Chains A and B, each alone.
Chain A
Amino acid sequence: MLTFEPYGNPTYFALLGVALLPLMIGLLYGKRSRLYETLISIFFLVLTFGGSKWTQGVALIIYILYEVGLTWGYAVYRRHKNSGPFFYLMVILAIAPLTIVKVTPAVENGQSSLIGFLGISYLTFRAVQTIMETRDGTLKNYNLMTFLQFMLFFPTISSGPIDRYRRFEKDYRSVPSREQYLGMLQKGIRYIFVGFLYKFVLAYYFGTMLMPKLQLMAMHSRGGFLDLSWPVVGYMYAYSADLFFDFAGYSLFAVGTSYIMGIATPMNFNQPWRSPNIKDFWNRWHITLSFWFRDFIYMRLVFWFMKHKIFKKPTTTANVTYIINMLVMGFWHGVTWYYIAYGLFHGVALMVNDMWLRYKKKHRKSIPHNGFTQVFAIFLTANLVCFSFLIFSGLLNKLWFN
Chain B
Amino acid sequence: MDIKETVLEILNDLTGNDVSGAMDDNLFDSGLLDSMGSVQLLLQLQSELDVTVPVSEFERSEWDTPNKIIAKVESLA
Contact = CB atoms under 8 A, between A and B. Distances in A.
Interface of A: 129, 132-133, 136-139, 279, 294-296, 298-300, 302-303, 306-307, 314, 317-318, 357, 361
Nearest to A360: B31
Contact of B31 (A303, A307, A314, A357): A357
B74 interface: no
A388 B26 CA distance: 31
A131 to B, nearest CB: 11
Interface string B41-66: 01100000000001111100000000
Nearest to B31: A357
Contact of B35 (A132, A133, A298): A298
B16 interface: yes
Chain A interface, DSSP helix/strand/loop, else mixed: helix
B40 A306 contact: yes
A129 B34 CA distance: 21
Contact of A133 (B31, B39, B56): B56
B58 A137 contact: no
Contact of A303 (B16, B34, B42): B42
B36 interface: yes
B56 A302 contact: no
B40 A136 contact: no
A287 B77 CA distance: 32
B38 interface: yes
A361 B15 CA distance: 11
A294 B54 CA distance: 14
Contacts of B38: 299
7 contacts: A132-B56, A136-B57, A138-B54, A295-B58, A299-B35, A302-B39, A314-B40
B31 A295 contact: no
Given A138-B54, A138-B57, A299 B31 contact: no
A300 B39 CA distance: 8
Contact of A136 (B35, B39, B43, B54): B54
B39 A299 contact: yes
B39 A303 contact: yes
A365 to B, nearest CB: 15
B29 to A, nearest CB: 10
Nearest to B16: A361
A306 B56 contact: no
- Scoring B16, B40, B55 by chain A CB atoms within 10 A of each residue's CB, the highest score goes to B55
A295 B56 contact: yes
A347 to B, nearest CB: 14
Nearest to A318: B36
B54 A302 contact: no
Contact of A137 (B31, B39, B43, B54): B54
Given A133-B56, A303-B55, 16 more contacts: A129-B56, A138-B54, A138-B56, A138-B57, A294-B35, A295-B55, A295-B58, A298-B35, A299-B35, A299-B39, A303-B42, A306-B40, A307-B43, A314-B40, A318-B36, A357-B31
